[in-house]
Amino acid sequence: MLYTRVGPHTRDLELHPSGLGRVPSELRECRTTGSVCGFCSTGCELSIHTRDGRAQGLTPSPTWPVNRGVACPKGWEALAVTQSAARATTPLLRDDGGVHRPIAWDRAMRLFADRFGAIARRHGPESVAFLSTGQIPSEEMLMLGVLAKCGMGMVHGDGNTRQCMATAVTAYKGSFGFDAPPYTYADFEQSDLIVLVGSNLCIAHPILWSRVVANRRDPAIVTLDPRMSETARASTLHLRLRPGSDLALFHGVARALIERGAVDQAFVDASTVGFESFARFVQAYDLPRVASATDLEVAQIEQFIELIAERGRASFWWTMGINQSHQGTRTAQAIINVALMTGNIGRPGTGANSITGQCNAMGSRLFSNTTALPGGYRYDDPKGRATVSRALSIDAGRFQTEPGHAYDRIVRGITQGEIKGLWIIATNPGHSWIDRRTIENALGMLDFVVVQDLFADTETARRADLVLPAAGWGEKDGTFINSERRLGRIRKVQRASGQALADFHIFRLAAAATGNGALFDTWTSPEHVFHKLKATTAGQPCDITGIEDYAMLDRHGGIQWPLPAGHPVEDQHRRLFEDGVFHHEDGRARFVFEPPRPLPETISARFPLLLNTGRGTSAQWHTTTRTQNSTVLARLHPPQAYVELHPSDAKHRCIADGDRVRVVSRRGKIHARAHVTRSVRIGEAFMAMHYATTNLVTRAQFDPHSRQPAYKACAIEIQRLE
């Protein structure tokens, strides 16, 4: 053993055989604290090395079962971005000239309470709303949801998680009866066939790609993506289908599998409902029809079907290519249907598996009090309201009986004059919202905007009347839940910048200022709140009442839900539905299906190209609020917005690689650098979402079931700039 941990984090540290996780000599005398990374949902643990209360550096934790001694570039730079000189260090109030001036916390909180209170008294409780995030710990999410809805009386609040995984939530609830991603990351290593749908795993989830590479079963890898992504290049089979045609493809695959007799009839009979009508429905999707709908060759589709039918264990993984499409929910359910009918669920190396995006998107799904009550209860379930009320010691009458508006409806509510005050926490819709001029207009119409974030220079914070400076990763305590349902701790190792406070403390201040201090009388530390949120899960599919305390999470390398009270942690890698019992009342999964719908915006003579958007590099995180503050990460991605277009489309427009171009849609015009590449199909283009201009051209279109924005296909033209 080359170094030891100090403090309560007591898992034995042995070096990975490859030497991964080695700690540089200058850090070996430091105190070491493990903390789950604050960027993506993979949930890697990073060991922070501190001396005299200041972080000196970090290394990926060698024994954490997720990342096993490795991290992506963002993880390595996690400290650097929070230590940036650009951090917000004091509350800021916009003056009459529009300039942000520092003010004291007590004045900031008085203004917070007075201004929101005055709006609510004048226009009603529906006139103040909040926009939350997948970036803060579950404990803080619970506090925000309780304070806003049970305390301040807000009716409408939603999270930026609506932008990344609402589709998966809706699909799982419909198919399984609960929002329950069924897998464990070990399934990547135990599959014979790994199907990646709308996922550039190499770039978006590089540590998960390392788990694919670690598979010793010689798996076939099939990638479904219109773009020749890094992942597609590394695949056995790349199905380069037409944007938005995945739903037709999976219906056709289901029909062909039935014809081949590749149905696991015993599983279908015992564990599902609706297969017969599904089988009748997919009869219309013969291979010539599907080939025509997808632009694929019949032989390619047959090869895909053959792999599903013949390979023993098939796992299906999807990300934003599905979630952010105009029919994402039904497409996700079409993937689930194929997994169910072939019995590829509940066994090692299988599953219909949504990988999510933000570090605690999974926590928001259970505890944010936005789309469901804490613990995953429905708002219209009186028994659920009573349970949550008891668990949190809050009168049941203070909980809503139906969810408030979804994100897009909140934005519309602002532009229609129904919502006058907005509290935005740890998110930057001024950059990330689809067709972002809609939110820019909305922000300009509000009477009072509060932004609570690490930085005061985001596109959104610059528009705020009041900025509340928040602590970042390494500066506060709590828990995250990763994509495979694993709870892990984030830990405070140093003071926040200036007067910035953990959101936990800001919510307590806000509660006191608004006369709701009693709500949090016993919520005196993140671990106290953890016990509250734990109590809301009793008897639910996500039951975590068996997690005794924070220290237990440390001892076991995180713990996946569920873990009911009295159950030992027997395995670090647990998947759901091994018993074939799902969460609908009858214990059976549902086949949910619908015919495909056309893309909401079609190409035309004026806008003849279809624009796809997505992640650019592993060095950029979403709106780059944090990653732009790392000089290391800045060297790992193009500094300016770029647009990928096919050589034939470039030639037609006299555009050469590197030319400055104008990207034009019905929403607006932006400038970018041309990247001429065969990675995109003829007639299509691609832009990375990390550049603030990208969403000036996207179109406000939504999956009807999940209200998730469909960022993936809008009509554009590209023109060379003289």
Q: Cα separation of 247 and 592, whole Å?
A: 12
Left (φ > 0), alpha (ψ -120 to 50) or beta: where does 19 sit? left
Question: Applying CB under 6 A, which of residues 37, 152, 239, 563 lies at the interface with ligand SF4?
Answer: 37
3-state helix vs strand vs coil in the chain, percent to 5? 35, 20, 45
Q: Cα separation of 361 and 365, whole Å?
A: 6
Q: Closest separation between CB of residue 37 and ligand SF4, Å?
A: 3
Give the sign of the dihedral formed by CA 452, CA 457, CA 460, CA 466. Answer: positive
Axis-axis angle for helices 287-294, 246-259 (nearest 10): 160
Site stretch for ligand SF4 (CB under 6 A), options 42-50, 167-175, 213-221, 346-354: 42-50
Q: Closest separation between CB of residue 193 and ligand SF4, Å?
A: 24
Q: Cα separation of 599 and 609, whole Å?
A: 13
Contact positions with ligand SF4 (CB under 6 A) in 48-67? 67
Q: Closest residue (Cβ) to ligand SF4?
A: 75
Task: Using alpha carbons, select from 485, 690, 529 the residue that is nearest to residue 43.
Answer: 485
What does the per-residue mask of binding to ligand SF4 show for 347-386, with x meaning CB under 6 A?
Answer: ----------------------------------------
Q: Closest separation between CB of residue 97 and ligand SF4, Å?
A: 39
Q: Can you tell me which residue has the tokens 């006058």?
A: 420
Give the HSE-up count for residue 295: Cα atoms under 13 Å, Cβ half-sphere.
Answer: 14
Q: Cα separation of 656 and 285, whole Å?
A: 41
Residue 698 contacts ligand SF4 per CB under 6 A: no
CA distances from 520 to 142, 394, 536 (A): 11, 10, 16
Residue 486 contacts ligand SF4 per CB under 6 A: no
Site stretch for ligand SF4 (CB under 6 A), options 35-43, 269-277, 496-504, 659-667: 35-43
Question: Applying CB under 6 A, which of residues 35, 42, 161, 163 lies at the interface with ligand SF4?
Answer: 42
Residue closer to ligand SF4 (CB basis): 388 or 481: 481
Q: Closest separation between CB of residue 562 and ligand SF4, Å?
A: 23
Residue 15 in tokens = 């070096």
**Residues in CB range of 428: below 8 A, 6 or more apart:** 453, 458, 459, 460, 461, 622, 623, 625
Give 152-203 as a 3 state SS string.
CCCCEEEEHHHHCCHHHHHHHHHHHCCCCCCCCCHHHHHCCEEEEECCCHHH
Contact positions with ligand SF4 (CB under 6 A) in 248-307? none
Residue 315 in tokens = 């796992």
Residue closer to ligand SF4 (CB basis): 426 or 464: 426
What does the per-residue mask of binding to ligand SF4 show for 188-227, with x meaning CB under 6 A?
Answer: ------------------xx--------------------
Q: Closest separation between CB of residue 225 and ligand SF4, Å?
A: 20
Residue 44 contacts ligand SF4 per CB under 6 A: yes
Residue closer to ligand SF4 (CB basis): 68 or 313: 68
Q: Are the C-beta atoms of residues 349 and 359 closer than 8 Å to each other?
A: no
Site stretch for ligand SF4 (CB under 6 A), options 21-29, 40-48, 211-219, 491-499: 40-48
Residue closer to ligand SF4 (CB basis): 196 or 410: 196
Question: Applying CB under 6 A, which of residues 23, 40, 109, 372 lies at the interface with ligand SF4?
Answer: 40
Site stretch for ligand SF4 (CB under 6 A), options 36-44, 120-128, 173-181, 526-534: 36-44
If binding means CB under 6 A, how many residues of this protein chain bind ligand SF4?
13
SS3 of residue 547 by DSSP: coil
Task: Using alpha carbons, select from 562, 578, 376, 391 the residue that is nearest to residue 487.
Answer: 562
Q: Cα separation of 308 and 404, whole Å?
A: 41
Site stretch for ligand SF4 (CB under 6 A), options 19-27, 38-46, 184-192, 246-254: 38-46
Residue closer to ligand SF4 (CB basis): 64 or 577: 64
Residue 487 contacts ligand SF4 per CB under 6 A: no
Question: Applying CB under 6 A, which of residues 23, 58, 71, 544 lies at the interface with ligand SF4?
Answer: 71
Q: Is 277 exposed, middle or buried (0-12, 13-18, 19+ CB in 10 A)?
A: exposed
Site stretch for ligand SF4 (CB under 6 A), options 70-78, 219-227, 285-293, 336-344: 70-78
Q: Are the C-beta atoms of residues 234 and 264 closer than 8 Å to each other?
A: no
Residue 72 contacts ligand SF4 per CB under 6 A: yes
Task: Using alpha carbons, select from 462, 455, 479 the residue that is nearest to residue 82.
Answer: 455
SS3 of residue 395 by DSSP: coil
Q: Cα separation of 188 and 210, whole Å?
A: 9
Q: Closest separation between CB of residue 610 and ligand SF4, Å?
A: 30
Residue closer to ligand SF4 (CB basis): 43 or 174: 43
Q: Are the C-beta atoms of residues 425 and 136 closer than 8 Å to each other?
A: yes
Q: Closest separation between CB of residue 309 and ligand SF4, Å?
A: 33
Residue closer to ligand SF4 (CB basis): 67 or 623: 67
Read off the amino acid at residue 138. Answer: S
Residue closer to ligand SF4 (CB basis): 355 or 672: 355
Question: Applying CB under 6 A, which of residues 75, 421, 558, 596 lies at the interface with ligand SF4?
Answer: 75
**Residues in CB range of 187: below 8 A, 6 or more apart:** 315, 348, 349, 350, 351, 353, 575
Q: Closest separation between CB of residue 615 and ligand SF4, Å?
A: 11
Question: Applying CB under 6 A, which of residues 9, 49, 68, 74 lies at the interface with ligand SF4?
Answer: 74
Site stretch for ligand SF4 (CB under 6 A), options 34-42, 80-88, 173-181, 315-323: 34-42
Residue closer to ligand SF4 (CB basis): 323 or 358: 358
Site stretch for ligand SF4 (CB under 6 A), options 32-40, 243-251, 412-420, 633-641: 32-40
Give residues in contact with ligand SF4 (CB under 6 A). Answer: 37, 39-40, 42-44, 67, 71-72, 74-75, 206-207
